[in-house]
Chain A
Amino acid sequence: MSTQRIKAIILQELYITKNSLEIIIDLFYFSVITIVVFGLVSVYLTGTNNPLSAQYILVGMILWEVIRITQYSISVGALWNIWSRNLSNMFVAPLTLSEYILATMIAGMIKTGIILVLISVIASFLFKFNILSIGVVNLILALVNLTIFSWSVGVIILAIIFRYGQRIQALAWGLVFLFQPLCAAFFPVSVLPEPLRTLAYVFPPTYVFEAARLGLVNHSTNWNAMGVSFAQNIVYFVVSLLFFNYMFNKSKDIGQFAKNEG
C-alpha cells in the first residue's frame, strides 16, 4: 500500500470539494440548514414541555450527519470521476483498490470531522445544545461506530455503482435515508411498529442512537449497546469489502467497469 497514492486520492477529493458548489451545498449547506431547522423544532418542543424529545432530535440529527456525509463522500466521490470520464485514468495508474477505498474513507472522515464541529458549534450557540452532553466516551464510541457503518454502506453502494454503472447512481444519495427511520435516529426504537422494531436491531446505528439518548438522561457510557454495535459493524464491514471485491471483479469480467464512463 502506497501512502503517496492514498494522498493523491485525498488531494483530489479536496480539490473537487473546494471547486464544486454542488458538494458544498450537499454537505455544508444541507448540514447547516438541517441543524437550524431541527434546532428550531427542538426549541418549539422545549416550549411544549417536551425538552427531552427536543434533545433527542438534535442529538439524532448531529449523529445522523456522520452517516450521511461519510457515505456520500465514498459513493459520490467515485461518481465525480465517472462523470468526468476520469475513473479509468486513475485505475490505469498503479492505484490499488484498497488504496482507493482507504483514501475515500479518510477523505470522508475529514469532511465529516469539519462538518461535525461546525454543526455542533451551531447547535451549541443557537440552541444551547452541547453534543458532549451525551458523554465524551459515548460520543467517541458513537462516532467510531457510525463511521464504520457508513463506510460499509458507502462501499456497498460504490460496489453497486461499479457493477451496474450510472443508471443506479441515485442510490448514492438516496439509499442511506432508508436507515434513518429503520435505525430510529430521532426517536426511541419503541416508537417503531413491531416488525420494524425487531428489524431495527439488525443495524448497528440503532444501538448508537439508543445509547446516545440514554447518555443524555443518565450521562453514562452504554458499553453494552456500543459493543453490540461494534460487533455488528465488524461483520457489516467485512461483508461490504467482500461484496465490493466480488462486484468489482464481476464488473471487470463483463466489461462494465470500462464502460461506466459511457
Chain B
Amino acid sequence: MQNNVLEVKNLTKNFRSSAGEFTAVDNISFSIKQGDAVGFLGPNGAGKTTTIQMLLGITNVTSGSIQYFGKDFFKHKQQCLQRINFTSAFNTLQGRISVWENLIVFATLYNVKNPKEKIMNLINYFNSESLLNQRYWNLSAGQKTRINFIKSLLNDPELILMDEPTASLDPDVVDKTLSLIEELKDKRNLTILYTSHNMNEITRICNKVIFLDHGQIVAQDSPLSLTKRIGSAKLQITFDGDKEKLENYLKEKRTTYSFIKKYIVVINTQEKDIPGIIFGISKSGIWIADIEVKKPTLEDFFLQIARGGISVNSKN
C-alpha cells in the first residue's frame, strides 16, 4: 500500500494590503503518495509559488494543515524538513564560495553522516568533479542546476519540491536535466512535486497533475485523463478537389474550420466525430491526400483554464 508522503487539507493563504484582502490560495486539499511525480500547474498568479512557500515553511499559512509522512508540519517542522528537499532555478547557492564549500555547508546543515563521501558520490554520479573547486557564481546555468540537484539530494530526501528547475536553461540542458530527474525518480523511488509552465516537461515527468487557478484546484488527474476532458480535436486535411464542395459539406455538418492553405483545411471537431467526417468528405467526391489529427495536449487544457474555459466545478 502506498503511503501519503504529503497531505494538504484546506490550505488557505490571505494577504492583506492597503487595497484590501486577497486570497492567493483558497482552501486547497491534495495528497501525494510515495513514488508519485506530481505536476503543479496554473497560470501566473494561480497560487503555485505561494503554496510551495507554505509547504516549505517560509510563508505562514492563514488556515489549513500540512502533513509530511503523517506528521503535522507545524509541530514537527525540523523533522519534516530533514526528510524533504527543494530545488529551484530561482534560488541558487552561495555564489562567493566554491561548490565544495557550499555542499559541505549544506551537508552539515542536514547532519549528513560521512559528508565528504556523500558529496563525492553525488559529484561522481553527476559527472561534476571538475566543478568542485570552482566558485558557484562562475558556473554556467546548466552547471548550477546540476549542483542544485546535488544539494537537494544530500539528505537522501523522500520528497523533492522542484520549482521550475529548468527555467532559463537551453533546450539541450533542459533535456539532460529532465533525463536526470527521470533517472532519479526511477532509481531512488523519489516523490516529486514539480512546478513548471512547460507542459511537455510535465507530461514527460509527472504521472499526476494538479491545476490551480485563482488559488483553487480546478483539476487533478493524470495528464492523459486531463487532455481527454477537452474532447475536441483538430483534424487537418490536405485535399485535391472542389474547395466549394468541401466547404458546403463542412457547413452542412456545422463544424468550424479554416483554410490554412488553398488545399489544406483545419477542422475543429470532437474526437469521436473524426471518422464520420473523413468518410463524409471522401463520399462527397473529394480526394484526401493527407490526414493529420491533432489531439489536445496538456497545453490546450492549460490554455482553457487560463482563458476561463473550465469551471471550478469540473471533476477534481
Interface residues of A (CB under 8 A from B): 2, 4-5, 7-9, 11-12, 15-16, 19-20, 80-81, 83-86, 88-96, 249, 252-255, 257-258, 261
Q: How far is the CA of A252 from the CA of B24 in the complex (A)?
A: 14
Question: Given the interface contacts A80-B94, A254-B15, does A12 sit within 8 Å of B56 by beta carbon?
Answer: no
Sample 24 A-B pairs with CB under 8 A, ordered by A number: A8-B109, A9-B105, A9-B109, A11-B108, A12-B101, A15-B96, A16-B96, A84-B96, A84-B136, A86-B92, A88-B56, A88-B91, A89-B151, A92-B57, A92-B85, A93-B81, A94-B77, A94-B78, A94-B110, A253-B60, A254-B15, A258-B53, A261-B90, A261-B91
Which B residues lie within 8 Å of A94 (CB)?
A: 77-79, 81-82, 109-110
Q: Whose C-beta in chain B lies nearest to the C-beta of A249? A: B60
Are the CB atoms of B93 and A86 closer together than 8 Å? yes
Q: Given B58, B86, B94, which contacts A12 in the complex, CB threshold below 8 Å? A: B94
Interface residues of B (CB under 8 A from A): 15-16, 24, 49-50, 53, 56-60, 77-79, 81-82, 85-86, 90-98, 101, 104-106, 108-111, 135-137, 151
Q: Given A85, A93, A249, A253, which contacts B109 in the complex, CB threshold below 8 Å? A: A93
Are the CB atoms of A85 and B59 closer together than 8 Å? no
Chain B min CB distance to A25 (Å): 14
User: Which 10 pairs across A and B sit closest by C-beta, in order of nearness?
Assistant: A8-B108, A94-B78, A94-B81, A8-B109, A15-B97, A15-B101, A252-B60, A93-B109, A84-B95, A92-B56
Are the CB atoms of A12 and B97 closer together than 8 Å? yes
Q: How far is the CA of A255 from the CA of B85 in the complex (A)?
A: 20
Q: How far is the CA of A182 from the CA of B175 in the complex (A)?
A: 60
Q: Whose C-beta in chain A lies nearest to the C-beta of B56? A: A92
Are the CB atoms of B135 and A86 closer together than 8 Å? no
Q: Given B58, B79, B97, which contacts A92 in the complex, CB threshold below 8 Å? A: B58
Chain A min CB distance to B99 (Å): 11
Are the CB atoms of B58 and A2 closer together than 8 Å? no
Which A residues lie within 8 Å of B90 (CB)?
A: 85, 261
Q: How far is the CA of A16 from the CA of B98 in the complex (A)?
A: 9
Are the CB atoms of A16 and B94 closer together than 8 Å? yes
Q: Whose C-beta in chain B lies nearest to the C-beta of A96? A: B78
Are the CB atoms of A91 and B92 closer together than 8 Å? no
Q: How far is the CA of A2 from the CA of B111 in the complex (A)?
A: 9
Chain A min CB distance to B72 (Å): 15
Q: Whose C-beta in chain B lies nearest to the C-beta of A21? A: B96
Q: Whose C-beta in chain A lies nearest to the C-beta of B83? A: A94
Q: How far is the CA of A165 from the CA of B53 in the complex (A)?
A: 17
Chain A min CB distance to B39 (Å): 20
Are the CB atoms of A252 and B91 closer together than 8 Å? no
Which B residues lie within 8 Å of A86 (CB)?
A: 91-95
Q: Whose C-beta in chain A lies nearest to the C-beta of B92? A: A85
Which A residues lie within 8 Å of B137 (CB)?
A: 84
Chain B min CB distance to A101 (Å): 15
Question: Given the interface contacts A249-B60, A252-B60, A255-B50, does A8 sit within 8 Å of B105 by beta carbon?
Answer: yes
Are the CB atoms of B96 and A20 closer together than 8 Å? yes
Are the CB atoms of B81 and A84 closer together than 8 Å? no
Q: Whose C-beta in chain A lies nearest to the C-beta of B135? A: A19
Are the CB atoms of A252 and B135 closer together than 8 Å? no
Are the CB atoms of A252 and B59 closer together than 8 Å? yes
Q: How far is the CA of A11 from the CA of B94 in the complex (A)?
A: 12
Q: Whose C-beta in chain B lies nearest to the C-beta of A16? A: B96
Which A residues lie within 8 Å of B93 (CB)?
A: 84, 86, 89
Which A residues lie within 8 Å of B95 (CB)?
A: 83-84, 86
